[in-house]
A and B are shown apart, each in its own frame.
Chain A
Amino acid sequence: MPRELLKGNEAMAEAAIRVGLEAYFGYPITPQTEILEWMSRRMPELGRVFVQAESELGAVNMVYGAACTGARVMSSSSSPGVSLMMEGLSYIAGTELPVVLIDIMRGGPGLGNIAPSQGDYNQMVHGGGHGDYHPIVLAPATVQEAVDLTVEAFDLAEKYRNLVFVVADGNVGQIMEPAELPAMREVKRATPEWALTGAEGRERRFLSSIYIDPVYEEVTNKRLQERWLEIQQNEVRYREYYLEDADLVVIGFGTAGRIALTAVRAARAEGIRAGLLRPVALSPYPYAAIDELAKRASAFLVVEMNAGQMLEDVQRAVAGRVPVDFYGRMGGMVPFPDEILDEIRRVAREPRAQADPRVAWLKRLEKVLPH
């Protein structure tokens, strides 16, 4: 396929369509609405299902019902809409159905704003809905990666009968970049042996997340945990930049990771031995890779577009062996490469072990924020 100039949201929508999406259910919310609009035009044209739901609550439960038929289905939303979907996502996890959800994150909490943010990290990675379940969470940093991860999301969802979230900040959703889309594939139409299709000439089936006898709920939970172990073993994904001899390891995902890369290159030009690890899957998280780096680097700097939600996962992996510092912008603000470069210089100059690097970070932020 040729490379085309594509907008992130539309590219993800079209990628899903080309790999055989059978149904889309969604509700408008900026900055993801282009996905819904793209689907509203393309899906009927291809004789596939598109429904604009009455709310994200409606959308997620339509996806839930549609997934019960074994079809390739998805929804998309942005932070407040995803919050509303949490009930349904927990049910889908409990019913062990393959579902893909794209979250184009925006500034929060509350109604917040429509600017790019990474404030949904905890909500997406560490649950959000009730009960013990683990979604696979993929975080693209470019339009091309958004396309590729959307394609992969469906395969992963079906392979593990698991939720897969593609979480991109509004920047990835809105940016236009050259990217290559997958070729148009046939819709698969294979029906898994658990799908609800009407009990014609076979035993009845039911799909539910209810196990009223706790004994069986525990059995189900054990199965979910074992699947999660398998996912952790197989599906860790990250990108490394200049890490071979890095003394200072920067960690950032999505847009923050991408901006950090520019800063790391500038730091290298100044002779600072910095490198970047960019988690591509946020769940499962690359703990082992970070553990290895902690054995040879002398400091870490975590960069996020939130108040340090992923920081806590890095701290867990580093386990106090070397200082872990933090720089973040919040509420829809995006850091400039220069800001991150300053942080890299500071940490390279004097790596400081701190119980919570956010205390000093909030102080430093005062210089940047309006009074």
Chain B
Amino acid sequence: MAATEQLVYERPHSLSETPNSYCPGCTHGVAHHLIAEVLDEMNLRERTIGVAPVGCSVFAYNYFNMDFAEAAHGRAPAMATGLKRLQPGRIVFTYQGDGDLASIGMGEIVHAAGRGELITVIFINNANYGMTGGQMAPTTLPGQKTTSSPYGRDVETAGYPIRMAELLATLEGAAYVVRRSLHDPKNIRLAKKALHTAFEAQVRGLGFSMVELLSTCPTNWGLTPLEALKWLEQNMLPAFPLGDYKVSPSLAGTRP
């Protein structure tokens, strides 16, 4: 009996053929896939313009199969503002790490949200600066050792982690601000739903949307991919509670 072939998975059209350069076990790749699947499902690929950050995802423009711009470190929300204002019929999203968004780009992100800029931000929180070799980020946990906090983050001198989802949720311009995690299949599914809703908020012109994704950096954490997922679950979840911090009432009931 001839076996019938059944297609169970194919590469999302929103991803290019270029192999990515992320380290093995890094959840940047997972985040890329989820975004691409959502854009495919919402049939938005040809209408979307992405903005890549400075960080490990600096080459995101190579990995996504759509128009892309590459911003200066932290400035993606401002660049996205310019793109969106001139192309109001297009979907514009930024993809940013925690050094990019919560440190050097703090001004740009807060004001983009404050203006209710119709952009979607995917925020990868991996508790350190990946690309430059694992220095302390604004999201580094108290006591966490990094290459620039070798004795562990000392809150007396280096302060406390900044919770971006909570902070931006206070702004009226924000329509949808949530935190999800990429450490297991269930959470990955929830993250995908959130990305869907975030793009939906933009399509419907409701305001600024951001999905913060807790992410791993096995290379700089000095852990195996599996240990890194565990570390995220045990240490980052308590510090960065998952949840919906702002959901515009108009989004009630939007689920893919």
Identify the A interface with B (CB < 8 A).
Answer: 22-23, 25, 49, 51, 53-55, 57-59, 61-69, 71, 73, 87-88, 91, 196-201, 204-210, 212
Q: Which residues of B contact A87 (CB under 8 A)?
A: 72
Among residues of A, the one whose C-beta sits closest to the C-beta of B51 is A65
Residue B90, interface by CB 8 Å: yes
Q: Which residues of A contact B110 (CB under 8 A)?
A: 54
Measured in the bound complex, the distance between the Cα atoms of B90 and A33 in whole Å is 32
A95 shortest CB reach to chain B, Å: 8
A-B contact pairs, 7 of them (CB 8 A): A23-B82, A55-B107, A57-B78, A69-B83, A91-B72, A198-B66, A206-B61
Contact call B66/A65, Cβ cutoff below 8 A = no
A291 shortest CB reach to chain B, Å: 39
Measured in the bound complex, the distance between the Cα atoms of B70 and A210 in whole Å is 8
- Which one of B65, B69, B107 lies within 8 Å of A54 (CB-CB)? B107
Among residues of A, the one whose C-beta sits closest to the C-beta of B52 is A208
Measured in the bound complex, the distance between the Cα atoms of B52 and A339 in whole Å is 55
Measured in the bound complex, the distance between the Cα atoms of B74 and A97 in whole Å is 20
Q: Which residues of B contact A67 (CB under 8 A)?
A: 82
B: contact size bracket: 35 or more
- Which one of A25, A54, A63, A210 lies within 8 Å of B108 (CB-CB)? A54
Q: For chains A and B in complex, what number of residue pairs have CB atoms within 8 angstroms?
A: 131
Contact call A62/B70, Cβ cutoff below 8 A = no
Among residues of B, the one whose C-beta sits closest to the C-beta of A209 is B70
Contact call A201/B46, Cβ cutoff below 8 A = yes
Closest 5 CB pairs of A and B: A65-B82, A208-B70, A66-B82, A61-B78, A65-B79
Residue B48, interface by CB 8 Å: yes
Identify the B interface with A (CB < 8 A).
Answer: 16, 45-49, 51-52, 58-59, 61-62, 64-72, 75, 78-87, 90-91, 107-108, 110-111, 115
Contact call B87/A197, Cβ cutoff below 8 A = yes
Measured in the bound complex, the distance between the Cα atoms of B45 and A199 in whole Å is 8
Contact call B78/A198, Cβ cutoff below 8 A = no
Q: Which residues of A contact B86 (CB under 8 A)?
A: 22-23, 49, 65-66, 69, 71, 73
B55 shortest CB reach to chain A, Å: 12
Other A-B contacts than A58-B108, A66-B85, A196-B68, 20 sampled, CB-CB below 8 A, are: A54-B107, A58-B81, A61-B78, A61-B108, A62-B79, A64-B79, A65-B51, A65-B79, A65-B82, A66-B86, A88-B72, A198-B90, A199-B46, A200-B47, A204-B65, A204-B67, A206-B62, A207-B68, A208-B52, A210-B58
